[in-house]
Amino acid sequence: MEDGLRWLRFVLGSEQSMPEIKSWSDVYDFAVKHSLIGVCNPFAYDVRLPQDLLFQWIGDVEQLKEVNRLLNRQAVEINKFFQRAGFRCCILKGQGNALMYPKPMMRCPGDIDIWVDADKDNIYSFVKNHYPEAKEGVKHISFELSEDVEVDAHYTPQKMFCPAHNRRLKEWLEEQKEEQFNHLVKLPETNAEIAIPTTKFNAIYQLGHILMHLLEEGIGLRQFVDYYYVLRECEKLSEDEKTDIKDTWKRVGTLELASGVMWVEKELLGISESCLLIEPDECFGRFIAEDILESGNFGRHGRWVSFRQKGRIANNIADIRRYVRLMRFMPTEAIFRMLFKVRTATRVVLNM
C-alpha cells in the first residue's frame, strides 16, 4: 500500500524525486485494486520490473488502450443515437474526464454516462422502445449498447436525498443546461464533436457523485484521481468562478464533503495547496481515506463485501452502518438517505 501511494503521487507529479520502491508487485496490486493500472504504469521511467510482471503490465496497458478506443467510438455513437431522435445530450465523467489526463488513454474507463435533455418518462420510454431489457434506476436507465459497453442514460446527472438540497441542485442544473450541452470537444481518435461538462460543472457535479458513492457501496481512489485533475483545471478559473463553485457547494449541501475531499487530495495524492478551493478538514478526510484504502474501487474489496452477499437483510445492515458513520460529518444527507431506504424496503415488503 505504501509503495503504491508513493508511486501514484510521483506519477501524478506531486513528488519531484522518484521514490524507492521495495516491491513492484505491491504497486501493481495497488493499481489493480484501485483501477489505476494505466496511470501507475512505470514504462516511462528507468525502473526494472520482474519479467513476468513486466509482460503482465504491458498486456494490461495495451488492453486498456483498446477499451478506451472502443468507448470513445461508442460515446460518439450513443451521442448520435440520441441526437437523431431530437435529444440534446452531454457525456458525463468517463471519457470526458480522460481528456484532463496527460495521457487520456491511460485512464481506466467504466460505463458510458450520458445526460439527455428530456424528462424521466420520455427518456425511459424512448430507451425501452429500442432496448426492451433496459433497467430503470433512480436517475437513469441502463442498457447494453454492445456486449462490452453499458450505457447509463440520465434524465438528471445528480440527485440529493435531502429535499431542500435536491430542489436547489435541480435549479442549478437547469441553469447549467445550455452551457453544458454546447461545450463541444473531440475524443481521441474520433472525428465528431460531442458535448462534455465544463470545469466548473465538474467541480460541483463530481463532488456530488463522490457523495453518492460514499453513501452507498464505497468510493474508489480512481474517482479522486479524476477529481485531482478537476481541481488542477479549477486553478485556471477566475476568483469569481471559484467563489461561485464554493457558493454552490454550500447551496446544495456538499461544502462539508468538499473540505474532506480537499484533505484527501492534499495528503494522499499530494496536490498543490494552490489547487485547494477551501480549507481541508483532516477529520473528515481521514474518514474518507480509510474507506478508500480499505475498500478499493467502488468498495469491491472491503471487509463488508462478503457480509453483503448473505442476502437482502445483511445488505441493508451494511448500508445502515455506512449511513450512521456518515451522520457525524453529513447528518442531513445520511438521515434522508436512510429514510429513503426504509421507505423503499417497506414498499417492497408490502408488495410481496
Q: What single-letter amino acid sits at 284? A: F
Provide the pLDDT for residue 297. Answer: 45
Residue 298 is predicted with a pLDDT of 47
- Per-residue pLDDT reduced to its tens digit, 34-49: 999 999 999 999 899 9
Predicted confidence at residue 45, as pLDDT, reads 92
Mean model confidence pLDDT for the chain = 90
Alpha-carbon distance of 21 to 123, in angstroms, equals 50
Give the pLDDT confidence score for residue 307 in this predicted structure.
45
Q: Enter the pTM of the model.
A: 0.91
pLDDT score, position 216 = 81
pLDDT higher than 80, residue 112: yes
Write phi, then psi, for 69 (nearest 5 degrees). -60, -45
Q: Are 21 and 46 in contact (CB under 8 A)?
A: no
Residues 6+ apart with CB under 8 A from 282: 263, 267
- Strand-pairing partners, residue 154, are 115, 140
Question: 145: which residues sit within 8 A by CB, 6+ positions away?
Answer: 74, 77, 78, 112, 151
* Model confidence at 352: pLDDT above 70: no
In which band, very low, low, confident or very high, does the pLDDT at 338 lie, cut at 50, 70 and 90? Answer: confident
Q: Cα(31)–Cα(46) distance, rounded to whole angstroms?
A: 19
Given this model, what pLDDT does residue 347 score? Answer: 58
Give the whole-number percent of the chain exceeding pLDDT 70.
90
Structure confidence by residue, pLDDT tens digits, 66-110: 999 999 999 999 999 999 999 999 999 999 999 999 999 999 998
Q: Higher model confidence: residue 122 or residue 297?
A: 122
Does the pLDDT of residue 176 top 70, yes or no? yes
Reported as a single tens digit per residue, the pLDDT across 210-244 is 999 898 877 889 999 999 999 999 999 999 999 99
Instruction: Return the pLDDT at 299.
Output: 46
Q: What is the pLDDT of residue 351?
A: 57
With cut-offs at 50, 70 and 90, classify the pLDDT of residue 261.
very high
The order of strands in the sheet holding 140-146 is 89-92, 112-116, 149-154, 140-146, 135-136
Please compute the mean of the pLDDT values over residues 311-327 and round it to a whole number. Answer: 74
CA distances from 133 to 128, 130, 292, 342 (A): 7, 9, 33, 27
Over residues 327-346, mean pLDDT: 81
pLDDT, one tens digit per residue, over 74-85 is 999 999 999 999
Distance from C-alpha of 298 to C-alpha of 34, rounded to nearest angstrom? 9
Q: Quick one: what percent of the chain has pLDDT higher than 90?
A: 75
Q: Quote the pLDDT of residue 239.
A: 97
Per-residue confidence (pLDDT) for residue 344, from 0 to 100: 65
Give the per-residue pLDDT at 316: 67
Predicted local confidence at residue 346, as pLDDT: 59
Structure letter (DSSP) for residue 276: -
